[in-house]
Amino acid sequence: MAETIRVVLADDHAVVRKGIRQFLEEGNIIVVAEASDGAEAVRLVEEHQPDVAVLDIRMPNVTGVEATRRIKTRFPDVRVLVLTAYDDDPYIFALLQAGASGYVLKTADANEIVRAVRAVYRGESALSPSVAQKVVQQLATGRPPGAARQVEPLTEREIEVLRLAARGLTNKAIGHKLGISDRTVQGHLANIYGKLAVSSRTEAVTEALKRGWIMIE
């Protein structure tokens, strides 16, 4: 008898979660918890220690990219499978860079998604054909077609600063919310600009949005 695969499922649409859960649980997979945003997904992974986290990309509060990064940093043995409607290059490579083991589109049939969960559980990768093609293209040419340039990932604190900056907060207001000084905020922004090769908040926010690192709340 196949081992039971324990899954935390995260998607901000309850109807979508219900549908995914129904076909996942027909076999040896059990969904131990559901999350409606990225922050809740990370919390539930910590609480339940699942084998696989199945995440959407565009979720409130914390994106799938950031949730993946947090999960793989804190719980490296948990496999992450991205299940999304988006196959944009910046999303794909940001997720793979963050540590996702699989990237499957929601247009895939139920059996393909189940196979993907089982594959990442076994330590294998699982990519939809169109996603795999982009990855192969990157390996062949050094960069994916049309993809944004690859950059050094932002730290969790830098992501927090950038998310608040995207809401229009001043350095002082950001510092107050995070319990740090204005000067420290300025330093984080300088690091962000350097990593993203930009020179303004607007450019930094735009680049981060493209990559799925933050969302406008």
pLDDT at residue 213, rounded to an integer: 77
pLDDT at residue 147, rounded to an integer: 45
In the structure, how many helices (H) and strands (E) does the chain have? 10, 6
The 10s digit of each residue's pLDDT in 185-216 is 988 888 888 778 788 888 888 888 877 778 76
pLDDT at residue 36, rounded to an integer: 94
pLDDT at residue 138, rounded to an integer: 63
pLDDT at residue 35, rounded to an integer: 96
Region for 28 from its dihedrals, namely left if φ exceeds 0, alpha if ψ lies in -120 to 50, beta otherwise: alpha
pTM: 0.67
Q: Does 6 have pLDDT greater than 90? A: yes
Please report the domains of the chain, with CATH numbers, ordered by start residue: 5-141 (3.40.50.2300), 156-211 (1.10.10.10)
Q: Does 142 have pLDDT greater than 60? A: no
Q: Does 20 have pLDDT greater than 60? A: yes
Q: Which residue do the tokens 């948990």 mark?
A: 78
pLDDT at residue 185, rounded to an integer: 92
Q: Does 145 have pLDDT greater than 60? A: no
pLDDT at residue 148, rounded to an integer: 46
pLDDT at residue 156, rounded to an integer: 83
Query: Quick check: helix, strand or coil at residue 80?
Result: strand
43 vs 92, which has greater pLDDT? 43
* Range 41-47 average pLDDT: 96
40 vs 57, which has greater pLDDT? 40
The 10s digit of each residue's pLDDT in 117-127 is 999 999 998 99
pLDDT at residue 117, rounded to an integer: 96
Tell the burial category of 108 from Cβ atoms under 10 Å away from its Cβ (0-12, 13-18, 19+): middle
* Range 167-177 average pLDDT: 92
pLDDT at residue 178, rounded to an integer: 93
Helical segments of the chain, H only:
14-24, 38-48, 64-74, 89-98, 110-121, 129-141, 156-166, 171-178, 182-196, 201-211
Cβ neighbours, 10 Å, residue 127: 22
The 10s digit of each residue's pLDDT in 74-86 is 999 999 999 988 8
